[in-house]
Structure 1
Amino acid sequence: MSEIWAKSVDEKNNKIVTLSDHVSDVLKVFNFFKKKFSDNQFILNATEVAIFLHDLGKVLPSFQIKALGNIEYYPRDVIYEIPHSLFSVFWINIDKLKEKFDSEEYLNYIISAIAYHHWRDNFDEIISLENKQLKQVCEKVIHEWKDELKENLAKEFGKLSNYDGYKELINVNMTWLKAILNHRLFVNLVVPPYKFDYHPLRGEVKKEWIFISGILQRCDHFASWCEEEGAEEELENVEIDAPEKEYVAKTISSKIGDNAWQFKELEKCSEKNVILIAPTGYGKTEFAFLWSSGEKLFYTLPLRASVNNTFERAKNVFGCDKTGLLHSDADIYLLDKNSDETGSIKLYELSKQLSYPVIISTGDQFFPYALRPPGFEKIFVSLSYSRIAVDEIQAYSPKACAIIAKFMEWVYKMGGKFLLMTATMPKFVMDYLKDVIPDFYDNVNTINIYEEEKDAFSKLYKHKIKLNLIKIENEQFDIPDEIIREILQKANNNKRVLIILNTVGFAQSVYDKLKNSADGQLKERIFLIHSRFTLKDRESKEFDYINNEFKNPKTENIGKILVATQVVEASLDIDADFLYTEICPLDCLVQRMGRILRRYIYQNNEVVNKSNDEKLKLDYPFRAFEKEYHNEPNVNVLIFDSNNLQSGGQRVYTKELINLSLAWLWKARYNQSNLGSLLDKTFQQEFDDDGIEEFFREEFADLILVQKNNKNKGKKDKGKNKESVYNSLLFSHDWLAKLDQLEIELSEYDKYILVTLFYSTMKKKGRYLKDFYNTLIVLDSGLMSDKKSEAEEIFREIYSVQIIPKNKFEEFKKDIQEFIKTIEQGKENKRMLFTQFKRGVLSKYIVMHFCSKDLESVYNKLTIEIEMDSKWKRRLKRWLSGVYLNNDFVYNNEKGLIKAEEEKSIEDSFIL
């Protein structure tokens, strides 16, 4: 008889975790966790059995000796191996299990949860084909191992008390072993959940199966983490209790007052799903914190910088010991912010384990699970008793929006609650949720602050727009000298100027032009931010610009200029005086405008200037731009007279979105009173594409030149030869001249109406909405990703690669050598080595870029130029997977990634 290990000896604790220890720990975690599901004893009983049996396969000799180093283990045969989770099912007494649950369905759920609780990419070739290794293992068990391995299991599980009723479930499953040898496929014995062509658990997956599998994964992963950390005392923290809702309410009321709109609205919807539409900077975050109502809260945002910012705010409301942070570089952020390394590592790990009652996260940590990749059950089961707040949904692509909408559907199905928050809610998302959530208006409460405060928001004007049509040649985008002088003059007059451009290349060239044209100290107050900086540089710039240079509210009287791309568009709490922006879709334009005069907010029929606490009654229209700038436009929209009107071409924004946005701005040019009636019209009827065409013919025919009907056609051909107004707006630019120098005053309510009309009158067969609806069709057909990474790529639409520019390679190489030396000398904590490597090395060199040619593997080059042992080769091969050296680009800390030659191609200028 041999002792069965579950974990090998670890460096920190020098402790072996036996299989009985591990199963005991997982059951302890389960006993803490199961209070979330106290109303479903049948599922809890099934899950407890699954936990008890889940690691029987670790009895396999090759796993014990080769994987764990249990060199005293017997039998000593290490040649034959299969994944231990698959091997577990051959040690379950299926007949006894059937007797216990009297349910074929639950039997399948339990067995499937056990076999696939550690899904691996190679499982498909083992379970869906006649696998040679699997057959060899089964033959070995039948003819040589069965008695010895059974005795090992009996001895190991004999150490567990209080579970005698489950021990009879452990036995050699001869029927299934022989079935494999008789050409039965594993997949026909145990239903797998993750493959497209496996039917039984696909489509409308049963919630009971998700619960059993998800709870098993949560408890197993958490117990393993505690064991690896040598922190068994943490087992009870699998789900940390949320702070009382009264405590949260008191903390927030001390900041915004007891009579704030958030408290009034909460009374109507604290126990419902919510869609909240409110202006930028209006306190949606505080509402989300209140809406959590003492339950677990996941709060998602699209950008890492805004996630970090919200995390700091959440800690002040919920407490540092209740708030977690989750995004791809959260470990680095926490280590940089906290001198307590051990505490930072624990915070990060507990966040990854989903243990905190409040977790602030980027959306890509959760939404890809709508495609149900391996491990989705762990997320879905957590959602079943939680609330999720989705902020700035409009910032995602149409494909991502479809995935988010599907994810919200799953949140509802699993029994959780969702809160969608934005200033510009896409109507197509609302329409989908109305279709898939039964009794929508009973289950979902829509709060539209614009409509509730229509009178006030109709009187509040913060923005006056000026449209500027700029002539260019050969697609060479440039801001004219007169506009450059205008920007510099405003900064010299102590104004903050924000410039948002659609591509990195254009932003860099405008930054250069401004720096070269500026005089004196202003040169040092011109800043640049975009996504093609290294993580280290970008985070320092984001922190500096958000918390210092452009902090909301503006209080100092110092002029400065920030040149940026879309990275500042949403969620970032910055305050500027003037905006110069390339044309972009109307919803994005409204978000960009939200960074201008952000210090002016509406509260209780008053406009408050947060810079000086001045309060003005809203008994009549108030124009902040008139008070601040003597009626001068404070939003300048730059439209380039080129094929796509903006620097990114259709790779950034489609022509459909840009042209329709301009058409609606033209519609709002003189009198906004007509917009409200148009909004009523779109809400009163659902337009198909033909109806939208007729709507545009009625409302926009005077903007374009419409060809008259062919007079020679008969009556039965009437209307067939009418030129499409919608298409004319998209593909003709003759009408653009009418927009040049047009000035438009927009109230906060006008902006809401315009964006709603913009979304409501977009053709479903257009390029933008086609992406949304086609994605939903695929998702509704039952698409499931085989890999989590695949799901993430679909959600993010990742077309970029990680590169190290050629002028940084030698520095990078020296830093790696120094890192290896430091670790080997024991000067650094060997825990979380990859986090330390990311923080100390990768964060200084890697830049994301949209390119795929002329790339050289960084790992391959390093192994040629640096001598290292096999241990470090294995580590670096894993850590540097997908990192490439590129000779076409160089990097500097001021401008980021730039083309090596002075001549930049159009392809180099890409989004963000």
Structure 2
Amino acid sequence: MSEIWAKSVNEKNNNKRVTLSNHVSDVLKVFEFFKKKFSDNQFILNAAEIAIFFHDLGKVLPSFQIKALGNIGYYPRDVVYEIPHSLFSVFWINIDKLKEKLNSEEYLNYIISAIAYHHWKDNFDEIISLENKQLKQVCEKVIYEWKDELKENLDKEFGKISSYDEYKELIDVNITWLKAILSHRLFVNLAVPPYKFDYHPLRGEVKKEWIFISGVLQRCDHFASWCEEEGIEEELGNVEIDAPEKENVTKIISRSIGDKAWQFKELEKCSEKNTILIAPTGYGKTEFAFLWSSGEKLFYTLPLRASVNNTFERAKNAFGCNKTGLLHSDADVYLLDKSSDETGSIKLCELAKQLSYPVIVSTGDQFFPYALRPPGFERIFVSLSYSRIAIDEIQAYSPKACAIIVKFLEWVYKMGGKFLLMTATMPKFVIDYLKDVIPDFCKKVNFVNIYEKEKDAFSKLYKHKIRLNLIETKDKQFDIPDEIIREVLQKAKDNKRVLVILNTVGFAQSVYDKLKNSADEQLKERIFLIHSRYTLKDRENKEFDYINNKFKNPKTEDVGKILVATQVVEASLDIDADILYTEMCPLDCLVQRMGRVLRRYFYKDGEVINKGNNNKFNLDKPFKAFEKEHSEVNVNVFIFNNNNLQSGGHRVYSRELIILSLAWLWKLKNTQNSLEELFNKITKQKFNNNEIEKLFTDEFTDLISNRQSSGKKSKKSKDENKESVYKYLLSNSDWLKTLDKMEIELSEYDKYILVTLFYSSLKEDGDYLKDFYNTLYILNSGLMSERKVEAERIFRDISDVQIITKNKFEDFKKDTEEFIKSVEHDDKNKRLLFTQFKKSVLSKYVVMYFYSANFELAYKKLIAEVEMDNKWKQRFKRWLSGIYLSDKHDYNYDKGLIKINDEDKEGR
């Protein structure tokens, strides 16, 4: 008889040996928490407990004990015959007696599946879907040589567990299944996997009970394993840290927003319901989400890391540092930067990864890809079943990502969790889909629309006056005219904060250069640039500086300055500018960009307040904030008169979105009455393509017929315009001249109406919505991703990779050599090595860029040029996986990534 180990002896747990009985007991201790969460369904709890008890039986395999764990005294001795231990576990369950105990064939299948696939590997498919030689050899070995000895090992080991007697008769060699494999039966026919679209049982609706059993097993197993590896078994009870008291959170938030704020009024109606919140930018949506959590577990998601980090700091103030977790790809570096306690910072990061905190602030890509149900989705879904999730800024995602998000929300609803969807500019097609998939939508989802509730006030509040500027340019050549450059510089000299937003990195860099080259020496020092093609360290430094210093909201100083940016500032940086110069973009994005201008003016309790000087203005008549700032026009929009209309072409925004945005701006300017009647008509129903075509014929024929063009129009062309105004607008540009120098005053309510009309008038077969509905069709057909990384790629819909520029490689190499020396000299904590390397080296050199087949793998060059032992070579092979070297770019702190001898016209 031999002792069965569950974990290898290593430095992490102070060389402590964790036996299989220790591990199963630990997992059962963690499970005690979930008994409280699901106390109303004892049958599921019993099934989950059985799955936990049996999940690691397969570790009895000799090769796993000796070869994988280093248990060299183990018998029988063998290192040749091996299969994944989770698959091997099912051969040690007495299926007949388990079926008898459960009295359910269905639940038997759920338990077997949960056990077999609780550690899914990429090579599982070739083992379970085909006749596998190794699997047959192991089965044969068990039947004819090992069965008695392995059974004796299991009995001895599990006999140490207090609840062993309850399950003793269920642990036995499963000769029937072993022989079935030898008789050419496939493993997949014994244990149905949950991660493959190909398998018929999962093409239909996945049963919630299946997800609960697998998810609880995964949560408990992962957390117990982490505690064991860290040598902190006393933390087993913290798999779910208690949420802060609802009353305490309410008290803290009321101190900052007042106990009569709109958030408290609305909360009375929706604290126990799924909720959709539409409110202007800077209007306190975050505080509403914190209050809406109502003392339950809260996941709060945003699209960008900068906004996630900012919200995390706010959440800590509301909920407490020991109740709030941070989750994104560089959270470990951020937390390490904020604290001198290295071990404590990593623990904070790990607790967030384990989903243990009652409040977790995260980027959306940490959760939404699980809508594709990759391996491990059950642990996320089961956590959502007793939690609340707030999704902020949904308009910032691509149509494909939006489709995945609404599918994810459908799953949240099915699992019994609650969602809060909030934004300033809600796409109507998102609401339409949720109405289709949530029965009794109006009863189960509360709709809070601050624009409508404060319609009278928002109709009188004007923060922005825009001017459309048509710029003549040759196709694919983009430049800001010199007179506009001079105008921007003059505004800064007049002590204005000027924000310039371009749609691509390359264009932003060229405009930045032009401004710097034209500015006097004093102003040059107050011209700044921000975009996505900086290293993590440089971008964080710039964002922190702009948020907390140069463009801090509210503006309080009287110093002119210029910030040139891409759309990274739309929904992440809480900055306050006086004037905006921007390329044309879709209406919802334009509204977000305008939200960075005069951000210090906000509406509260019947008054407009300037946070910069605390001046207050009543709204008994229209209030125009831009006039208070001595600026007639404070939003200047550039439209390039070529096929693309904007520097990114269709790669950044589709022509369809740009054209329809311009058309609706024209409509607002040229309508005889307000757009409310049209708004009320179009939002009460879902328009099909024919109805949208009629809408455009009724509302936009004048835009086409009044266009400035030479020559007379034939009767035929008039008729064609009447037949398809929508198509004409998209395929012709001559009508754009009508828009040049057009000025439009926009109330806050106008913005809401415009964006709603814009999204409501998109055709389903147009470029934008086609992506959304095609993605939903595929998801609803049962698409499942076999790997988490593949699900993340589909969600992000990007081909970016990490690169290090050749001009920085020598510095990178030198810092890497210094890092190796420091580790060997100081004997750093091995658990922190990768995080330390990310923080001190990678964060200074790695930039995101489009993948090229000509890129060289960074680790190959590093290993070739730096002397190191095999252990370090293996580390860098892992750490630098997917990081490339580029000789087509340079990098500097001022401008970021620069494409050599060719302007970079892509990216944000």
User: What is the aligned partner in structure 1 of residue 286 from structure 2?
Assistant: 285
- For 2:364 and 2:415, the matched residues in 1 are separated by 19
- For 1:367 and 1:203, the matched residues in 2 are separated by 21
Equivalent runs, 1:755-834 vs 2, <5 Å = 755-834=755-834
- Greater Cα shift, 402-411 or 195-204: 195-204
User: Is the counterpart of residue 107 in structure 1 residue 105 in structure 2?
Assistant: no
Q: CA offsets, 1:751-791, max 9 Å, x none?
A: 00000000001111100000000000000000000000000
Q: Residue 464 of structure 1 aligns to a residue in which SS?
A: strand
User: What is the aligned partner in structure 2 of residue 564 from structure 1?
Assistant: 565
Whether contact under 8 Å (2:302, 2:363) holds in the other structure is yes
- Greater Cα shift, 781-790 or 674-683: 674-683
- For 1:175 and 1:720, the matched residues in 2 are separated by 74
Counterparts in 2 of 1:638 and 1:872: CA distance versus 1, 3 Å: same
Q: CA offsets, 1:599-645, max 9 Å, x none?
A: 00000110011111111111110000011125x10000011112111
Equivalent runs, 1:191-340 vs 2, <5 Å = 191-340=192-341
User: Is the counterpart of residue 909 in structure 1 residue 900 in structure 2?
Assistant: no
Following superposition, the deviation at residue 803 of structure 1 comes to: 1.0
User: What is the aligned partner in structure 2 of residue 142 from structure 1?
Assistant: 143
What amino acid sits opposite 1:911 in the alignment? G
The 4+ residue runs of structure 1 with deviation greater than 6 A are: 706-713, 718-721
Following superposition, the deviation at residue 38 of structure 1 comes to: 1.0
Equivalent runs, 1:353-432 vs 2, <5 Å = 353-432=354-433
Whether contact under 8 Å (2:462, 2:746) holds in the other structure is yes
Following superposition, the deviation at residue 719 of structure 1 comes to: 7.5
- For 2:873 and 2:548, the matched residues in 1 are separated by 41
Equivalent runs, 1:484-633 vs 2, <5 Å = 484-630=485-631, 632-633=632-633
Following superposition, the deviation at residue 709 of structure 1 comes to: 11
What amino acid sits opposite 1:92 in the alignment? I
What amino acid sits opposite 1:47 in the alignment? A
What amino acid sits opposite 2:735 in the alignment? W
Equivalent runs, 1:396-475 vs 2, <5 Å = 396-475=397-476
Counterparts in 2 of 1:559 and 1:9: CA distance versus 1, 3 Å: same
User: What is the aligned partner in structure 1 of residue 837 from structure 2?
Assistant: 837
- For 2:673 and 2:877, the matched residues in 1 are separated by 63
- For 2:878 and 2:851, the matched residues in 1 are separated by 22
- For 1:216 and 1:130, the matched residues in 2 are separated by 28
User: What is the aligned partner in structure 1 of residue 164 from structure 2?
Assistant: 163
- For 2:602 and 2:893, the matched residues in 1 are separated by 36
Q: Percent identity?
A: 79
Following superposition, the deviation at residue 724 of structure 1 comes to: 1.4
Whether contact under 8 Å (2:391, 2:421) holds in the other structure is yes
Whether contact under 8 Å (1:670, 1:744) holds in the other structure is no
- Greater Cα shift, 780-789 or 554-563: 554-563
Q: CA offsets, 1:198-232, max 9 Å, x none?
A: 12134310000100000000000000000011001
- For 1:719 and 1:147, the matched residues in 2 are separated by 88
Equivalent runs, 1:628-707 vs 2, <5 Å = 628-630=629-631, 632-670=632-670, 673-705=673-705
User: What is the aligned partner in structure 1 of residue 853 from structure 2?
Assistant: 853
- Greater Cα shift, 743-752 or 472-481: 472-481
What amino acid sits opposite 1:6 in the alignment? A
- For 1:639 and 1:343, the matched residues in 2 are separated by 51
Following superposition, the deviation at residue 556 of structure 1 comes to: 1.2
What amino acid sits opposite 1:165 in the alignment? E
Whether contact under 8 Å (2:498, 2:580) holds in the other structure is yes
- For 2:181 and 2:822, the matched residues in 1 are separated by 51
User: What is the aligned partner in structure 2 of residue 749 from structure 1?
Assistant: 749
User: What is the aligned partner in structure 1 of residue 873 from structure 2?
Assistant: 873
Q: Residue 470 of structure 2 aligns to a residue in which SS?
A: strand
- For 1:705 and 1:493, the matched residues in 2 are separated by 42
Q: Residue 596 of structure 1 aligns to a residue in which SS?
A: coil
Whether contact under 8 Å (1:709, 1:719) holds in the other structure is no
Following superposition, the deviation at residue 824 of structure 1 comes to: 2.4
Q: Residue 782 of structure 2 aligns to a residue in which SS?
A: coil
Task: Give the number of aligned pairs.
Answer: 903
User: Is the counterpart of residue 892 in structure 1 residue 888 in structure 2?
Assistant: no
Following superposition, the deviation at residue 670 of structure 1 comes to: 4.7
Q: Residue 662 of structure 2 aligns to a residue in which SS?
A: helix
Counterparts in 2 of 1:443 and 1:755: CA distance versus 1, 3 Å: same
What amino acid sits opposite 2:428 in the alignment? K
Following superposition, the deviation at residue 671 of structure 1 comes to: 5.2
- For 2:663 and 2:498, the matched residues in 1 are separated by 26
What amino acid sits opposite 2:766 in the alignment? G
Whether contact under 8 Å (2:324, 2:357) holds in the other structure is yes
Q: TM-score, normalised by structure 1?
A: 0.97
- Greater Cα shift, 841-850 or 771-780: 841-850
User: What is the aligned partner in structure 2 of residue 58 from structure 1?
Assistant: 59
- Greater Cα shift, 195-204 or 611-620: 195-204
What amino acid sits opposite 1:248 in the alignment? V
- For 2:650 and 2:199, the matched residues in 1 are separated by 39
Counterparts in 2 of 1:889 and 1:672: CA distance versus 1, 3 Å: farther
User: What is the aligned partner in structure 2 of residue 734 from structure 1?
Assistant: 734
- For 1:97 and 1:427, the matched residues in 2 are separated by 50
Q: Residue 217 of structure 2 aligns to a residue in which SS?
A: helix
User: What is the aligned partner in structure 1 of residue 29 from structure 2?
Assistant: 28
Following superposition, the deviation at residue 867 of structure 1 comes to: 2.6
Following superposition, the deviation at residue 574 of structure 1 comes to: 0.9
What amino acid sits opposite 1:889 in the alignment? H
Q: CA offsets, 1:802-854, max 9 Å, x none?
A: 11111011111122222222222344221132211211211111111114132
Following superposition, the deviation at residue 723 of structure 1 comes to: 4.3
Q: TM-score, normalised by structure 2?
A: 0.98
Whether contact under 8 Å (2:496, 2:579) holds in the other structure is yes
- Greater Cα shift, 835-844 or 782-791: 835-844
What amino acid sits opposite 2:277 in the alignment? L
Counterparts in 2 of 1:522 and 1:712: CA distance versus 1, 3 Å: closer
Following superposition, the deviation at residue 549 of structure 1 comes to: 1.1
- For 2:246 and 2:23, the matched residues in 1 are separated by 36
Counterparts in 2 of 1:508 and 1:690: CA distance versus 1, 3 Å: same
Counterparts in 2 of 1:826 and 1:502: CA distance versus 1, 3 Å: same
Q: CA offsets, 1:664-708, max 9 Å, x none?
A: 111111558431111012124432111111110111111114999
What amino acid sits opposite 2:403 in the alignment? A
- For 1:685 and 1:413, the matched residues in 2 are separated by 25
- For 1:684 and 1:885, the matched residues in 2 are separated by 54
Q: Residue 22 of structure 1 aligns to a residue in which SS?
A: helix
What amino acid sits opposite 1:365 in the alignment? Q
Whether contact under 8 Å (2:701, 2:722) holds in the other structure is no
Counterparts in 2 of 1:710 and 1:554: CA distance versus 1, 3 Å: closer
Q: Residue 360 of structure 2 aligns to a residue in which SS?
A: strand
Unaligned stretches of 5+ residues in structure 1: none
- Greater Cα shift, 621-630 or 749-758: 621-630
- For 1:77 and 1:40, the matched residues in 2 are separated by 43
User: What is the aligned partner in structure 1 of residue 152 from structure 2?
Assistant: 151
Unaligned stretches of 5+ residues in structure 2: none
What amino acid sits opposite 2:150 in the alignment? L
Q: Residue 580 of structure 1 aligns to a residue in which SS?
A: strand
Counterparts in 2 of 1:500 and 1:786: CA distance versus 1, 3 Å: same
What amino acid sits opposite 1:896 in the alignment? G
Q: CA offsets, 1:704-749, max 9 Å, x none?
A: 1499999799xxxx98895411111111110111111110000000
What amino acid sits opposite 1:739 in the alignment? L
Whether contact under 8 Å (1:709, 1:722) holds in the other structure is no
Whether contact under 8 Å (1:274, 1:447) holds in the other structure is yes
- For 1:398 and 1:729, the matched residues in 2 are separated by 22
- For 2:177 and 2:810, the matched residues in 1 are separated by 57
- Aligned Cα root-mean-square deviation (Å): 1.6
Following superposition, the deviation at residue 338 of structure 1 comes to: 1.1
Whether contact under 8 Å (1:226, 1:235) holds in the other structure is yes
